[in-house]
Amino acid sequence: MSHDVTPPAYAVDAQGWVSPARRLPSPNFEARPGGAVPTLIVVHNISLPPDTFGGPEIADLFLNRLDCDAHPYFDTHLRGVRVSAHFVIHRDGALEQFVSCDERAWHAGLSNFFGRERCNDFSIGIELEGSDTQPFEPAQYATLAPLVRALCAHYPIDAVAGHSDIAPGRKTDPGPHFEWTRLQRETQLGDVFFPYLHARDVS
């Protein structure tokens, strides 16, 4: 089997920024406590307004410039909210980075990874533009997989989890349409990197 599409060669620089990614520095970050290094990748989905794709609202949210009068959902849920993720992958596969991977972004909230709380301290958050109700685009996996591989090459990452795995009952993303086995196949990472895979399959 061969594929005509050559995945982009992502690389992490000495300041924790990935190229080629569009850099949109967010003020919503802080130092990782105690100089922690990231060991976990957390996969999310986000769409603003919900189930609406293609607009600037995700970046606007992470840059604290979302017009909360523009949509009832924003008014109800997002006014005054200060959040961020390290990365957003849009429907066409375009990659944006908002926070250096060396810093602590604000994506996971109350969370627990096998007994270790405050997952933002030691994780990298990747948001896929999408929702719990529809499949993600092949172009998104084509960006996500080499990005994950580049992060694993630069940091001592030992696991990839969904937001719903580390915040069960509170969060549902990346949702039932996210193809974990596809991510594993495209990253060629071993089973040990996907500690929730079996639990998901049998539930």
Distances (CA, A) of 123 to 23, 65, 83, 120: 19, 25, 15, 5
Footprint on residues 88-117 left by Zn ion (CB under 5 A) = none
Phi-psi region of 7 (alpha: psi -120 to 50; beta: other; left: phi over 0): beta
d(CA 179, CA 162) in angstroms, rounded, equals: 11
- Segment interacting with Zn ion, rule: CB under 5 A, options 9-17, 52-60, 88-96, 170-178: 170-178
Phi and psi at 122, nearest 5°, equal: -130, 25
* Nearest-approach distance from CB 163 to Zn ion, in angstroms: 3
DSSP-assigned letter for residue 177: T
Measuring CA to CA, which residue among 95, 63, 100 is closest to residue 78?
A: 63
For position 129 contacting Zn ion by CB under 5 A, the verdict is: no
| Residue at 167: amino acid letter | A
For position 165 contacting Zn ion by CB under 5 A, the verdict is: no
* Nearest-approach distance from CB 4 to Zn ion, in angstroms: 33
Q: Count residues contacting Zn ion (CB under 5 A)? A: 3
Footprint on residues 37-76 left by Zn ion (CB under 5 A) = 44
* Nearest-approach distance from CB 127 to Zn ion, in angstroms: 7
For position 86 contacting Zn ion by CB under 5 A, the verdict is: no
* Nearest-approach distance from CB 89 to Zn ion, in angstroms: 13
Catalytic residues: 127
Tokens 């609202």 label which residue?
A: 57
Q: Which of 148, 163, 178, 194: binder of Zn ion (CB under 5 A)?
A: 163
